[in-house]
Chains A and B, each alone.
Chain A
């Protein structure tokens, strides 16, 4: 069943068109890795899906309903949650408060403070600690936990490995693998090709605001993706 449908989406930053005519569909339980170089438009696309950027054209349909003009906080209530680039925690709030503030979205489901701590045991001793004092890996676990607290149907993850130590990245991806095995629907923005291809069921490569290559992760070769990533080969689309 199609959960997310994006049709000819355009997003602008002032005069700069960051996303151009992007279209794709995502079924429930699928994981899509959006890969591409810096400035390819991945983050802008993800933020447009979350409602943080208003599209200049095109449509976003979620569960069959047009949500293009729906504001960000209402999209969260419909089941879309974003883990933003740079984590963007509330630094003056404790870890527990960061988690609980997201519970106000009012969606019911399996995720609460206890289940988030069970999924990210690293957070157990940190619940009373201010977010500003956390390490990068701890912040990322809190940011993912905060998004899960909204009990999302679609989880948008932006550069979860950025700025983290390799050990922390491995920890975050182990947790993601567990979420994916549990049937979560995820759109993952990742600059690390190998990691993106390892966890995703589908992959889309962006270049200069467009999707230039898309397909099932297992069917695309590393060479095809690398060529599309750097804009070396002939652009392909699925």
Chain B
């Protein structure tokens, strides 16, 4: 029965990873940017919430009313002031730029918040759980996180499929030059995509911080799990990201059942195994087109 519990908890953990990975997937799908600072931006969201909770005494959930709009502004500004220039300079430059941003964010957080470990209160829902059987319990907070991940992915799919901004995002992802020729301002579309991506990262960061502790150096670890979820699910595919997150979560929990030290290792092994299998089967081609991926 403990194996069943491991799988159930793995699925729930997959919600956290999917939430973390959504923005990463969106930025890659639209702009082909692999944002190495994604985990650090999630951490910025967590620290923004921490400031509000610590100084104003409001609930973590209420802090999202400030954190999410703030993250949208940060994302938009990040694209306009930094990433847009790097995109013009070549394919590898955004990778280096976001790597630099990762280091800058980690050092700024260290400077302002020290290396103290924090966590965010999850409220009454935090310790509550639903006892399915003697061996399987479902923590309400984890179920909420998975539900939120599905809601965010559904919202993004609605945005991409049913709105003018979504059509512009997909058209720009396919052919930015032609999109300009039909009246789409590709720079503005990119800035909006980054704003949405950073907002989802901040949302994930806040939920991650309610689930476990965080410190200024936690960004790269978050990035690795998000990156693995995106790659397992198919680069640029939104629903694939959820599947990737769930596979990663299950692998980690099942690994822990085998040996408590295998939590991270088992996830990495499954990630590598999937990469190798894809290459061996000749189906490892990266899906670059957002529209196909976004609805798959």
Contacts and interface: CB of A to CB of B under 8 A. Distances in A.
A146 B182 contact: yes
A113 B291 CA distance: 21
Given A92-B289, A92-B291, A71 B167 contact: no
Contact of A104 (B164, B177, B291): B164
Interface stretch (B34-42, B74-82, B83-91, B183-191): B183-191
Given A90-B175, A92-B289, A100 B167 contact: yes
A84 B175 CA distance: 13
Given A52-B177, A88-B178, A93-B291, A73 B170 contact: no
Nearest to B177: A52
Interface string A89-111: 01111000110111111100000
B171 A101 contact: yes
Interface of B: 164, 167-168, 170-171, 174-175, 177-186, 289-292
Contact of B183 (A84, A97, A102): A102
B167 A101 contact: yes
Contacts of B289: 92
B interface secondary structure, majority: helix
Contacts of A98: 171
B182 A71 contact: no
Contacts of B164: 100-101, 103-104
B178 A77 contact: no
Interface centre among A73, A76, A100, A146 (most CB of B within 10 A): A73
B183 A90 contact: no
A200 interface: no
B183 A150 contact: yes
B181 A82 contact: yes
Contacts of A93: 167, 170-171, 174, 291
B184 A101 contact: yes
B182 A97 contact: no
A147 interface: yes
A92 B174 contact: yes
Given A84-B178, A100-B164, A104-B164, A92 B170 contact: yes
A-B pairs with the 9 shortest C-beta distances? A105-B183, A76-B183, A92-B291, A102-B182, A72-B180, A101-B167, A88-B178, A90-B174, A101-B171
